Structure 1
Amino acid sequence: MYNKSIISGKSNLFSGVFFLQFILFFPLNFSNYFQLKFTHFIFGDFTQFLLEYFLNKKNIRIDYSSDSCSMLVLIIILLFTSSIFSAIIKKKQAEYLLLIIEYLCVFYISIILIKYGTDKILITQFPEPESNILFTRFGNLDKDILFWSTIGISKIYNLIIGSIEFLTGILLLFKRSQFFGLLLAIICFNQIFIINVGFDISVKFFSLILLLMSIFLARENGWRLILKIIRLPKKTFFDQATFLPYNSFFKILILGILVIKIGMLYFNNENKKKSLNLTGAYHVTSSESPYQYIFFHKDQYLIFMEESSEKMIVFHYDISADNKIILEDEQHHVSKHLFVKNKKDNTIIFSFNNQMINAKAINYRKMNALQNQFHIFVD
């Protein structure tokens, strides 16, 4: 028990010292570059040496921005110095130092949440997309730009999320509401970190450290309170020994029905794809055609995109027994058309509006939006 408390105390001190150094040396982009100059003065030459020697990066920026190689090196340095400081600091000094660190960490997280909450409320973090973005095809945009632009369209979303972050920052400043504020902060930073990883947004390191800092502040007493809040309720009728076998049976039955239903939907969709084998995008090669692209949607929709206006014309389609395509428009008018697909060169020919349309399949899966790219570093 004694050894366990010593290990716990040392790990708390190590974490606290690391977070204190991170607050001091990680340059925030709204700190008027004072932190950057300060950090560069202390760690600049050593960071440059480590980058050149170990990562073979000679012409690299040293700005310590999130997800940069320089930030990774800075984190490694701070982890190393934290282990040294936590080993030499005595127990009495450690308790007093941890109180100061916790006080500073709470203020730091509060400032971050109030700042970025205000930015969202004022629509400055996620602004309305610029004209060049609006006129760029969805598939040609990178995932981070797609997310940023989509969030920027919704003022209500920005207002709600910004207000929650702003409120969380305010709650942290008062002792009575501090723990509740920390719980909200953990939820906020957890969501932000997942978004940054999922959409490859280059603040992954920073958001992860903010999440860990929030968890560090809510440790021990906070987790005991959470366990009390979520403690199991008293036994009900369904927990009685006579009902337990039926209880398990009903659970298995419901889960089994759900699995079968979901499985049937999935396999039906897969069978449709295989039988029709048309899903995808086709570039119209007929010079006289007014259409630029033809899209076969997985839910059996045929979509024409006009070349001049990029207007979409939608039909529900099916393939008849004699390999003709049956189209149904929004007014439920049904028509039957000649349809031929050449599997060798992935071309299709069919008649529509008294003309023969020729189109060739294009590999739309190479577009930026569909690439599973993940950048640990931005440089």
Structure 2
Amino acid sequence: MQTAEGRFIDAVVEGLSFTSGDQTGVTDSEGTFVYEVGQNITFSVGAVEIGTAAGSDIISPVDLTGSNSTMPDTQNIVRFLLMLDSDGDSSNGITISNEVQLMAENWTQPDFTTDLLDGELASIIADVMAVDNRIPVLPSAMEAQAHLEGTLACLTSGVFKGTFSGQDNGTFLLWVQHERFDPLVFGDDTPRVGVTSALVFSTDENLVSGVAPQQGLSFDSEKLFISGLVSTGAEFTGELVDYQTITNGSWQNSIFNESGTFSGERLAGGEGAVYRLSGFFNLQGFGFTADDSGLVALDIMTDNSVTGVMVTLRGDETPLTGTRTGNDITVSGGGNSFSLSFDPDGSDSANDLALGTTSGFLGTMTGASGTSDVIGTSCQPD
């Protein structure tokens, strides 16, 4: 029997009971569970079962329902878990108190497919109020959807490098942003969540193309994404296994009647980061090129050290290291030096024209070819 660890994320959830084969336990402050490889895992709060999914590195409510963030059963599970959070603040994770876990052994299974969840949970909410000595709040379905999509968007955010083949061949850089402010693209000042864009380099044609940003994440159990439409007419779609690996990638170009496949892997974005940053760089005064355009991914750790990688559209990777001092980030590697102004919470009005109220960074990168502009966004992963 082989076992592995995973994490339950709807924000990190502490206090969920789990069963997978002979493995049983309760998730800790990191949402950690143990499962038998190849077996399902079932999660519950006392006598209330919230769902079952195949064992995996990361499991969220969409995996339990096999649907997506817009479905009532998914939203109701999220609403239930948020209501159970002992301090009512999901930004620091969801904690189900020991007292609630004990009381929950006497609860009756609610119907998570109902449109009237408040009625289904009336007695449970009363119990939580009594044992936690607080007034629990049941969020609306819309609030639950926004919460879940924000969590999954941050989990997915970052830089992915891959190659494509078929009737055209080359390199592909996928950029997933937790949130993007872009009035020129979206037509208003409202940030969009789960935005995808990309850079594509055809080695066959020696041609560089950009992919227009769009809300490309599907927030479903299959973890589907669409990167958007390339300026040449091609469109890339795929799945993100455990938010790390692009699988079942395919592309097609209806203009030239071309198609093929692609795959890729995440760059940087390791566990333990306080902030996950990803952005775009391009040589000042020039259009996209294979060697002077690309993406950068950075992780800010608890000690304010910074590690990451920059990758050109040709596919050349350079490790980066540096530090964060206040709102300034300096990193370097391979003869390239980045100087970035970091806005961790989107409150810096000096960055509003470029970032709006979205957390992110602006700056420059100096290298052998000259000075490049750098812009990107950030989030705080669970």
Range class of TM-score, shorter chain: under 0.3
Determine which structure has more spread, i.e. the larger CA radius of gyration: 1
Higher strand share goes to which structure? 2
